[in-house]
Structure 1
Amino acid sequence: MRGSPGFAAVLSLLLPGLGQMYLGRWIRGVLMILIPIFAVLLVGALVAIADPLTSFVLRNAAEVTFLVAAAFFMYHLFVVTDAFGVKLRGMGSLRGRRVVDYLVLGLVCIALVGFYATTYRGSAPWAGLFTKVFAPIANPPSVGTSSSQDYSPPEWTERERLNVLLLGVDSRGDSSSTLNTDTMIVLSLDPVNKTAAMLSIPRDVYIDRPGVFTDKINAAYAFGGYDLTRKVVEDLLGIRLNAYALVDFDAFTKIVDSVGGVIVDVKRPVRDESYPTPDYGIERIDITAGPQLMDGQTALRFARSRHDTNDYSRAQRQQLVLSALRTRISEGDFLRGLPVLIDRVGSAVQTNFDPANILPLARFGTGIDGNAIRSEVLYPCGGSYPHCELQASGGDGGFYLIPDRAKIRDLAATLFYDPQVKAEGAAVEVRSAGARNGVAQSVADRLTERAFTVSTVSDGATGRSAILVRNGAKRYTANALAAQLGGLPVDTLSSSETTAADIVVRVGSDFRGLATDLAR
Structure 2
Amino acid sequence: MSPLPPRRSYRTARERVAARRAALGGSTSRRRQRRSCTPVVLVALLILAVGGLIISMVGNWASATLRTFEQDDPRYPTTAGAVAHLPASLREPFNVLLIGLDSRDSPEDGVRSDTLMLVHVHPAEGWAGMLSIPRDSMVQMPNLGLRKINTAYTYGYNNATSLYGAGTSPAAGGGAFAAETVAAFLDLSVDYIAQVDFEGFKHIIDTLGGVTIDVERPILDPAYPTPDYGYERLYIPAGLQVMDGAAALRFARTRHSTSDFDRTARQQQVLRAILHDVRSRDLLSQANLLPELVRSLEGSVRTTMPLSDIDTLRGLAALAQQLDPAAILTLSLNPNDVRIVAEEGSNIYWDPNGVAAQVARLLAGPQGSSALARIQVLNATDMHGLAGRVSSRLSAQGFSVNNPADAPMRSAQTRLIDYSGHPETLRRLATTLNLNPGQVYTSPPPDAPPAPYQSDIVLLIGADFQE
Distance 2:119 2:34 in 1: 29
Q: Which residue of 2 aligns with 1:180?
A: 112
Q: CA deviation at 1:283?
A: 1.2
- Do the aligned partners of 1:59 and 1:130 also contact (CA within 8 Å) in 2? no
- 1:219 and 2:151 aligned: yes
**SS of corresponding position for 1:166:** strand
- Do the aligned partners of 1:204 and 1:399 also contact (CA within 8 Å) in 2? yes
**SS of corresponding position for 1:179:** strand
1:292-371, aligned counterparts within 5 Å? 292-331=241-280, 332-334=282-284, 336=287, 337-355=289-307, 356=309, 357-371=312-326
Are the structure 2 counterparts of residues 393 and 173 from structure 1 closer, same or farther at C-alpha, using a change threshold of 3 Å?
A: closer
- Do the aligned partners of 1:378 and 1:390 also contact (CA within 8 Å) in 2? no
Distance 1:133 1:377 in 2: 25
- 1:378 and 2:328 aligned: no
Q: Which residue of 2 aligns with 1:416?
A: 363
Identify the match of residue 388 of structure 1 among 326, 338, 358.
338
Distance 2:305 2:4 in 1: 19
Are the structure 2 counterparts of residues 213 and 246 from structure 1 closer, same or farther at C-alpha, using a change threshold of 3 Å?
A: farther
| Deviation readout 1:468-507 (Å, 9 max, x if unpaired) | xxxxx99xxxxxxxxxxxxxxxxxxxxxxxxxxxxxxxxx
1:43-442, aligned counterparts within 5 Å? 47-48=1-2, 129-130=40-41, 157-173=89-105, 178-209=110-141, 211-224=143-156, 225-331=174-280, 332-334=282-284, 336=287, 337-355=289-307, 356=309, 357-380=312-335, 385=336, 387-394=337-344, 398-417=345-364, 418-419=368-369
TM-score with structure 1 setting the length: 0.50
Distance 2:259 2:229 in 1: 21
Distance 1:127 1:231 in 2: 25
| Deviation readout 1:248-272 (Å, 9 max, x if unpaired) | 1111100111111111111111111
Q: CA deviation at 1:213?
A: 3.9
Distance 1:128 1:377 in 2: 30
Q: Which has the higher contact order (CA 8 A, sep 6+)?
A: 2
Cα-Cα RMSD: 3.7
Are the structure 2 counterparts of residues 175 and 365 from structure 1 closer, same or farther at C-alpha, using a change threshold of 3 Å?
A: farther
Identical aligned residues as a percent: 34
Distance 1:219 1:205 in 2: 10
- Do the aligned partners of 1:59 and 1:131 also contact (CA within 8 Å) in 2? no
- Do the aligned partners of 1:330 and 1:367 also contact (CA within 8 Å) in 2? no
Distance 2:328 2:44 in 1: 27
Are the structure 2 counterparts of residues 243 and 302 from structure 1 closer, same or farther at C-alpha, using a change threshold of 3 Å?
A: same
Distance 1:365 1:375 in 2: 17
Q: CA deviation at 1:320?
A: 0.3
Are the structure 2 counterparts of residues 202 and 131 from structure 1 closer, same or farther at C-alpha, using a change threshold of 3 Å?
A: closer
1:451-470, aligned counterparts within 5 Å? none
Distance 1:60 1:203 in 2: 31
Are the structure 2 counterparts of residues 287 and 177 from structure 1 closer, same or farther at C-alpha, using a change threshold of 3 Å?
A: closer
Q: CA deviation at 1:359?
A: 4.3
Are the structure 2 counterparts of residues 296 and 234 from structure 1 closer, same or farther at C-alpha, using a change threshold of 3 Å?
A: same
Q: CA deviation at 1:127?
A: 6.4
- Do the aligned partners of 1:236 and 1:409 also contact (CA within 8 Å) in 2? no
Q: Which residue of 2 aligns with 1:439?
A: none
TM-score with structure 2 setting the length: 0.55
**SS of corresponding position for 1:302:** helix
**SS of corresponding position for 2:176:** helix
Q: CA deviation at 1:345?
A: 0.9
Larger radius of gyration: 1
Are the structure 2 counterparts of residues 157 and 330 from structure 1 closer, same or farther at C-alpha, using a change threshold of 3 Å?
A: farther
**SS of corresponding position for 1:171:** strand
**SS of corresponding position for 2:98:** strand
- Point out where structure 1 has 5 or more consecutive residues left out of the alignment: 1-46, 63-125, 135-154, 425-450, 453-472, 475-520
- Do the aligned partners of 2:210 and 2:242 also contact (CA within 8 Å) in 1? yes
- Do the aligned partners of 2:43 and 2:301 also contact (CA within 8 Å) in 1? no
Greater helix share, 1 or 2?
1
Q: CA deviation at 1:228?
A: 2.0
Are the structure 2 counterparts of residues 308 and 133 from structure 1 closer, same or farther at C-alpha, using a change threshold of 3 Å?
A: same
- Residue range with higher mean Cα deviation, 232-241 or 308-317: 232-241
**SS of corresponding position for 2:250:** helix
Q: Counterpart amino acid of 1:402?
A: Y
Q: Counterpart amino acid of 2:242?
A: L
Aligned residues: 292
- Point out where structure 2 has 5 or more consecutive residues left out of the alignment: 6-22, 24-28, 46-86, 157-173, 375-397, 400-422, 425-467
| Deviation readout 1:374-401 (Å, 9 max, x if unpaired) | 1112113xxxx3x22333412xxx4210
Are the structure 2 counterparts of residues 260 and 422 from structure 1 closer, same or farther at C-alpha, using a change threshold of 3 Å?
A: same
Are the structure 2 counterparts of residues 177 and 311 from structure 1 closer, same or farther at C-alpha, using a change threshold of 3 Å?
A: closer
Q: CA deviation at 1:416?
A: 2.2
**SS of corresponding position for 1:239:** coil
Distance 2:88 2:339 in 1: 32
